[in-house]
Amino acid sequence: MTRGVFVTGTDTGIGKTLVSAWLAQGWNAAYWKPIQSGMTEGTDPAWVARMAPDVEILPSAVELQAPLSPHEAARRERRRIDLSALVLPETDRPLVVEGAGGAMVPINETALMVDLMARLGLPVLVVARSCLGTINHTLLTLEVLRRRRVPVLGVVLNGQRNPANRQAIEQFGGVPVLAEIQPLPAVTRAMLESLPPPAFSCPS
């Protein structure tokens, strides 16, 4: 069994890549983004490699040019992403897998990102904002994961601390908020290294 975690978010641009780099660095893990769209605008694996150079970067299984949902980016290239072809890569390290967008992002005409999570079998870490609106978005994401019987490790909140939102997510979502990452003055390698390591261990 592969030790690791699948990182998803309640939205795009939520901070999944930052959290993935932080986890991979803290756990001395490998990083894998199975589906990378937006190749024309730079890639998440390249960013993680710059921010956390000691992390092992595993090549994406699918690379798409347009910065769009995977199903649409693939359609524009006259391609179809085959879910059955996406398997966990081999590595001697723990594995941090970053999804594209959120749980309900389409991969092809029938499969969603949550189907990939279920297929890979890793516990999921949900990255969410700490601000107004996060309760609804986070609880909806958790509901989707539970309906598909995907194990949930917990939630990481990005942004200014909001104790009321944290309490609501833990109470109504039935999961722990495992970390809160405060706004960073700049997202640099030095700033990432200054963050305390994860206080929770990589699932086995």
Residue 138 assigned ligand-binding role:
no
Q: Is 142 labeled as catalytic in the residue annotation?
A: no
Would you call 119 exposed, middle or buried from its count of C-beta atoms within 10 A (0-12, 13-18, 19+)?
middle
Asked whether residue 110 is marked as a ligand-binding residue, the answer is no
List the beta strands (DSSP E) in 44-146. 56-58, 62-63, 95-102, 124-129
Is 37 marked as binding a ligand?
A: yes
How long, in residues, is the chain?
A: 204
Determine the Cα–Cα distance for residues 45 and 16; give it in Å rounded to an integer.
12
Is position 121 annotated in a ligand binding site? no
Q: What share of the chain is helix, strand, coil (3-state, %, to 5)?
A: 35, 20, 45
The answer to whether the annotation marks 99 as part of a ligand binding site is yes
From the CA atom positions of the chain, what is the Rg in Å? 16
* Residue 98 assigned ligand-binding role: yes
Place of tokens 């107004």: 132
User: Annotated catalytic residue: which of 23, 33, 69, 96?
Assistant: 33
- Consult the annotation and say whether 14 binds a ligand: yes
169 belongs to an annotated ligand binding site = no
Annotated binding site for substrate: 37
Catalytic machinery residues: 33
Q: List residues forming the annotated binding site.
A: 13-18, 37, 54, 98-101
Which residues fall in the annotated binding site for Mg(2+)?
17, 54, 98
Binding residues for ATP: 13-18, 54, 98-101
